[in-house]
A and B are shown apart, each in its own frame.
Chain A
Amino acid sequence: MKIKFLPFAAVAFVLFTGGCATMQPGPTAVDTSREVESLARRFPPGAKAPTDAEIVALLKASFKDSPSAKLDRLDQTPLQMACTEASRSGKPLDEKLRDGLQAAALASVKYPADGKYLGDWKRGKAIAQNGRGLQYTDKVGDVAGGNCYACHQIDKKEIAHGNIGPSLTGYGKLRGQTEPIVKYTWARIWNSHSFNACANMPRFGDAGILTEAQIKDVMALLLDPESPVNQ
């Protein structure tokens, strides 16, 4: 028999952070090609379709309330409710509903009072890497990260990036620093639903995940000409 001394943790580390993968931009909406089942197969005799209220009640009975993650996280906002249904049914939102939700999201955006949109890209880099925040295992008041790399390619040198969102490599170089671009990017990070009601990107400002100062720093990471993202 062979005895191999392979550092397991090292392999795990490599698989987690290294490895090569094709880097195509990811799709952004939930797949709608679900199997279409006949009603008879879906509901055999005696089986009832669960109601939304029943689901919320069951979910609430399935979690522990704690100061860092309370049970009210299971109470859906109107947007969450509408987007749940859209992704489950595969049907896009009704246009009027969508426009209303996007307008409300855009109205939630707080622009910096001092008019300064860009902070320090070096700090922004660390925030984009940091995946902590708002989990039940975190403590109330812990500083959260943006975890941007979980979903985006940003600095080309960082190969451990996800693809749920589009690549942001060269973001500032490609788009420039005009006021509309700067304001759009701020609003996108503050409340991504302003531009796509059911976008799969967290509301970093609106949900209180990042502070205003932190958002300025990730703004600089994307837009500052000195940032590695724009080299």
Chain B
Amino acid sequence: MKKIFVAAILASLAFPLTAQDVQKQIDRYRELLADGNPAELLEMRGEDLWKQKRGPKNASMEACDLGLGAGKVAGVNAVLPRYFADVDRVMDLESRIVHCEVTLQGFTMAELTKRPHSLNQSERQTDHEALTAYVVGQSRGAKVNLPQSHPKERESFLRGEKMFFFKGGPYDFACATCHGVDGQRIRLQDLPNFQKADNAQRAFTTWPAYRVSQGAMRTMQWRLLDCFRQQRLPEMEFLSPASIDLITYMGVKGKDGTMDAPAIKR
């Protein structure tokens, strides 16, 4: 049933832009949100991928330790990024998924990080996006509570905090320029203020998200890549140290929020 519904929505993407009555459209959009999220299809594809034997080692991802023990998927996104003793560093969800694909399945880092994000709605979503969608979906309802007792976890937060306020580039922007004041908007887009617990919770718990304007689900790594683009900094490397520290910072700020991702966004 849901598949038919989603297919209908995807087919309608080709319609011309005729909308005039703003409020009516927003109401319909809201109604739709309650009905279903196209990311659910991707979650299903991700679940199949997760359980499939893949890669040179012909293994599934089911033995992957995402932070709550090998094979445990439920709730992991609410405690990530966190410290992993086997690599002696802090990893975010997407780094850990890639790590397991390398160690369990035998894929190379280079092939997995070459093109993690699909380009646009006309292109099939990547396996990385599907796996991330599946795992994140298994955290719905979990309370965000990133561990901060290991020194490396705390240091990741402290670095993330400094990076959040780091002003640089030709526009002199920091994350805090756009996300440090209440009630700020760029054009009509509301900007969460990460110094406010409720704002930070909403932002952290709703990513990854299905982006209606792009017809695709986007991961948190993509969100940072795109905000750094708006900040006029160079192109962020996938799984880079800065990305992990910033996600730690946002996750700690979003403590006690309830995971509800992949969400649906404009």
Q: Is the CB of B12 within 8 A of A7?
A: yes
Q: Is the CB of A88 within 8 A of B187?
A: no
Residues in A neighbouring B193, C-beta threshold 8 A: 31
Residue B178 is within 8 A (CB to CB) of chain A in the complex? yes
Indicate with 1 or 0, residue by residue over B226-266, a CB within 8 angstroms of chain A CB atoms. 00111011111100111101000000000000000000001
Residue with the greatest number of chain A CB neighbours at <10 A, chosen from B188, B241, B242 = B188
Residue A83 is within 8 A (CB to CB) of chain B in the complex? yes
Residues in A neighbouring B8, C-beta threshold 8 A: 3-5
Q: In the assembly, what is the distance between CA of A165 and CA of B66, in Å?
A: 43
List CB contacts (< 8 Å) of B192-246 with chain A: 193, 195, 212-213, 215, 228-230, 232-237, 240-243, 245
In the assembled complex, how far is the CB of residue A168 from the closest CB belonging to chain B, in whole angstroms? Answer: 15
Q: How many residues of A contact B (CB 8 A)?
A: 82
The segment out of A8-16, A178-186, A220-228 that lies at the interface is A8-16
List CB contacts (< 8 Å) of B154-193 with chain A: 154-155, 158-159, 161-163, 165-174, 176-178, 180-189, 193
Q: Is the CB of A64 within 8 A of B159?
A: no
Residues in B neighbouring A2, C-beta threshold 8 A: 5, 35
In the assembled complex, how far is the CB of residue B179 from the closest CB belonging to chain A, in whole angstroms? Answer: 10
The segment out of A108-116, A134-142, A211-219 that lies at the interface is A134-142
5 A-B pairs in the complex with CB atoms less than 8 angstroms apart: A4-B32, A10-B19, A62-B241, A207-B170, A207-B172
Residues on A lying within 8 angstroms of B by beta carbon are 1-21, 24, 26-27, 29-31, 33-34, 42-50, 52, 54-55, 58-59, 61-66, 69-71, 73-76, 79-80, 83-84, 87-88, 134-137, 149-151, 159-164, 193, 200, 202-203, 207-209
